[in-house]
Structure 1
Amino acid sequence: MRHFSPLRMFKTILGATAAAGLMFAAITAAAQNTPGVLRVSAIPDEAPTELQRKFKPLGDYLAKATGLKVEFTPVTDYAASVEGLINKKIDMVWFGGFTFVQANVRSKGQVTPLVQRAEDEKFRSVFITTNKDISKLEDLKGKTLSFGSESSTSGHLMPRSFLLGAKVDPDTDLKRIAFSGAHDATVAAVAGGKVDAGALNISVWEKLVAEKKVDPAVVRVFYTTPGYFDYNWSVRSDMNPALKKKIADAFLALDKSTPEGKEILDLQRATRFIPTKVGNYADIEKAATSAGLLKEGK
């Protein structure tokens, strides 16, 4: 039988450990250089089937632009989209202005807004009703009103802000407020007589009217808000800079003059995408703080 001295055994173990370390480093390097998966999600401001339908052509386009497999992961609520990005379970999210602010605050600035639609520079909300006695925001006193999701910019935060500006406190001046969870659900609640009025994003309203899913002669807009910054596509700040640039460039290159560009932009309800930055959402953050909807670390 062959015997090893303690010194020789130590050298053997040390050599094996070093070899294993080199092998692990090589595997890790190879994995980093191998195209992987871009995990994408979106705030659930519309029905899940509609979100999937809207994203499919865009996902295929981004896969070609990045060389990655693009997977869309639906989330159950707005908070899940925030947590998914900052906990690195998702790489890119379609945020509303308020959910971007929440993600940015929660992550201590570790979220980067890449692009927004040109329409998001001056986005608006509409207030709708079937009640003939309601023609201005002040008429909502004593009435019932549905917002969308509590974390929605265009379906809650900004409508609440404009109500407060009109000296109408939703929590004390209205008979009851409800949260439908999504813009199309708000329209259904108003049309079905469950509430006297509702607030939602103008883009979804115009889409539902165009698709004849709501009769504007029955459910009518009685107030349209001034413009404000809203939606954007955001990524984690620690994403590889080269990948960030590929994604941003792909969005900025979309053009309605091409069949692919037209299909994607129409589904996204956009004329084109433009760069955006954190500073664009300063007013959203102020509005959320003033309304008591944004707390440090939340």
Structure 2
Amino acid sequence: MKRIREYTIFITLCFFLVSCSGDKQQKDILKVTAIPDEDATELIRKAKPLIEYLENSVNMQVEFIPVSDYSAAVEAIVSRKVDLAWFGGLTFLQAYSRSNGKVEPLIQRVEDQSFRSVFITSDANIKELSDLKGKEVMFGSQSSTSGHLMPRTFLMQEGIIPEQDFKRIAYSGAHDATIAAVGSGKVQAGAMNIKTWRRFVKEKRVPEGTKVFYTTPTYYNYNWTIHKEVPEELRNKIKESFLKISSDQELGKKILEAQDASGFLETEKKNYDGLKAAAENVGLIKSSLN
């Protein structure tokens, strides 16, 4: 009987040690994701130098976990499958709501203080927003800030209600897909992220005849969102790591080019109050979100 009891204690102790080892192993990996606002190849390319930098600066393994769509990115951080996520303003607000305030915006690019969307077309007869009435128009993902929420908001400010005034509404799921759809004539116009548009122009990838006919006013957009259960010391390390990224460093220059940024700065939830009001107004988040 004594031997059985000793054996049971031994097995229990072994199980405990294995469990602790597993927990430690999990905590030694910083898991990161991003909304798939572009194709997977481009997202991985953009993430690679940043992952390399973070591994060295926080002294732990960093794993980038691609997701299938915007809602999957939100679910990943809410369920703690990832610790850090690259979100648009709207997806941050959705994650904040879904997690009951357990996530927070940590860092944003300098450019995200004054972001813009563009409306594009290949139809020579479309010259202003009012010309979209009766047309087939494409947004990005339904959860996209720059490809849906803010374009819809500015349309509504002009008295244009997409469901009533457009012949058809389509959702591409990603900004590059919107360019392709407009360029091929699948739809007559589309709304998208200005940075993706500028990159396509720079790389000479814009379909012939496709142009911008309207640029929106500015608004706060993207940020790196972190789960509050990530230890404070690690959160601070991550924040400081971003703030130290500089074009004076070879790797820093690669990161800034890949992230399409001139630099990073701290951000906070109140910066997204304007987006919150816009999202509530169009029914993309509940008004009970604090």
TM-score by length of 1: 0.90
Alignment of 1:40-55 (within 5 A): 40-55=32-47
What is the aligned-residue identity percentage?
Answer: 47
Identify the match of residue 265 of structure 1 among 236, 251, 256: 256
CA contact (8 A) 1:111 1:236 kept: yes
CA distance in 1, matches of 2:22, 2:135: 62
Deviation at 1:295, TM superposition (A): 2.8
- In 2, the alpha carbon distance for the partners of 1:31 and 1:67 equals 17
What amino acid sits opposite 1:119 in the alignment? E
Pick the aligned partner of 1:88 from 80, 83, 90.
80
How far is the alpha carbon of 1:68 from its aligned partner? 1.4
**Conserved in 1, the CA contact under 8 Å of 2:121 and 2:210?**
yes
Q: Aligned-pair RMSD on alpha carbons?
A: 2.4
- 1:240 maps to which residue? 231
Q: 1:140 to 1:69 in 2, by over 3 A?
A: same
Q: Which amino acid aligns with 2:240?
A: D
Q: How far has the Cα of 1:218 moved from its partner? A: 1.3
Q: Equivalences for 1:73-84 in 2 at 5 Å?
A: 73-84=65-76
Residues 17-46 of structure 1: per-residue CA shift (max 9 Å, x gap): 499569837973895499621111100000
> Does 1:189 find its partner at 2:181?
yes
The 8 Å contact of residues 133 and 166 in structure 2, kept in 1 or not, is answered as yes
Q: Give the letter for the 2:248 counterpart.
A: S
Moved more, 118-127 or 63-72: 63-72
- Contact map agreement 2:280 2:287 (CA 8 A) in 1: no
Partners of 1:89 and 1:148 in 2: CA distance: 25
Aligned AA (2:259): Q
Distance 2:67 2:198 in 1: 25
Which of structures 1 and 2 has the bigger CA Rg? 1
2:277 corresponds to which residue? 286
Partner of 2:268: 277
Cα 1:65–1:17 change in 2 (3 A) is same
Provide the C-alpha distance between the structure 1 equivalents of 2:214 and 2:146, rounded to a whole number of angstroms.
13
Name the CA distance, whole Å, in 2 between partners of 1:160 and 1:23.
Answer: 55
Segments of 4+ moved more than 6 angstroms: none
* Total equivalences in the alignment: 289
1:205-253: per-residue Cα shift (whole Å, max 9, x none)?
Answer: 00000000015x6111111001101001111111011111111111110
Q: Give the corresponding residue for 1:67.
A: 59
Mapped pair 1:170 → 2:145: no
Picking from 103, 120, 126, the partner of 2:95 is 103
Tell me if 1:219 matches 2:203. no
CA contact (8 A) 1:144 1:197 kept: yes
194, 207, 212: which one aligns with 1:202: 194
Q: Which residue of 1 aligns with 2:117?
A: 125
Q: Which runs of 5 or more structure 1 residues have no equivalent in the other structure?
A: none
1:95-154 deviation line (CA, Å, top 9, x unaligned)? 000000000011110001110000000000000011111111111111110000000000
The alignment's TM-score, normalised by the length of structure 2, stands at 0.93
Cα distance in 2 for residues equivalent to 1:249 and 1:33:
24
Farther off after superposition, 15-24 or 98-107: 15-24
